[in-house]
Structure 1
């Protein structure tokens, strides 16, 4: 069974009655709920737990880490960021959601600012599937719509994705690369755009389907880790 840890800074839920009304069990709780229903072994972790809930033991027993953050990126300890990075390079999958684009871990792994345009205007988002053959897009139509979402617009300052799966169009006219995959070391990374805290986005069946598929795609593979450093010759070397 794939072991998933859903991480959420869990700050909006503490400060905002509006957010609590949408996600009474927290954003992490809602994501964990539908992943559990999909058959995954799911745990949650939050910013205010010791070591942000991401201890060595937790990460060692995580195949895929799902990350949601927004207003407290700077409060994530650099030592924990390094710990997560090493686990990704070692093969743990990482799914970064919505405003997690500005998280320390995503920016560290991308090597860019990961900046973008944004607007909160209750506008429709239409998400086009531009790679329908990809496993993360399994079960989706040509596009799906979210009735109300926060706008993210180009330019999105990320490296060119290894694979571009989704492009969003917004009612105000902007477009955005909203589903991007990367490989870093032995690990797989997926960035997925939707998920503003005041909208019920994580109850949307298509959004859930993407995240469920992404967990299965990003899970740690049972492959042999490459060896590095000084290496003895395979054949005799004639001097």
Structure 2
């Protein structure tokens, strides 16, 4: 009985702790999945940072981001585009242009410097004459996210943008991005998976483990009781046989 009470007591303590901790685990504060000085995007899929560019070129800004474990921003879909735009416009650099990690790669097709897949359907070129697939006419062009949220071809004569934005996947999105990025809604889906589903599975697993331990403890106690009853029955039978033997002498 004491062991059973102890088991149930441990289970109740765990459930109480889970009640206190679980709301924090599923909170929407995705910034805890980003490095210092980075901030989570609206959908929790990306971490962004923003800083003064100090006259750096496209390559210089890209290297600056890579030294911090990030890269220039890539845009996989409308959801990511709006998150990036929202991030910029909530800072002191509202509506300031910054480089996108877009460049003309091998076989004259567009590519992102961070290796993400390029989706032609997600393109928002400011100039509609820019081909969404073939970039042969823009081999050395650089693009910025302009004040209106369009992908504007940046002229070298204007000098580099005054700010640099670096982007990287959040902790739980890193594996998904390494597999080729996400579609428009994947940020929300993965954020739900990592903030709710995974903690719930862990909690259920721990509860199951505690219940299994309780069951094993109870089964062991049952076997011990059976052994005691068997031993007592044998002892009683032996005593009865001894009494019968003495009576026959």
Structure whose residues are more often strand by fraction: 1
TM-score (norm 2): 0.24
TM-score (norm 1): 0.24
Bigger RCO (CA 8 Å, 6+ sep): 2
Which protein shows a greater Rg?
2
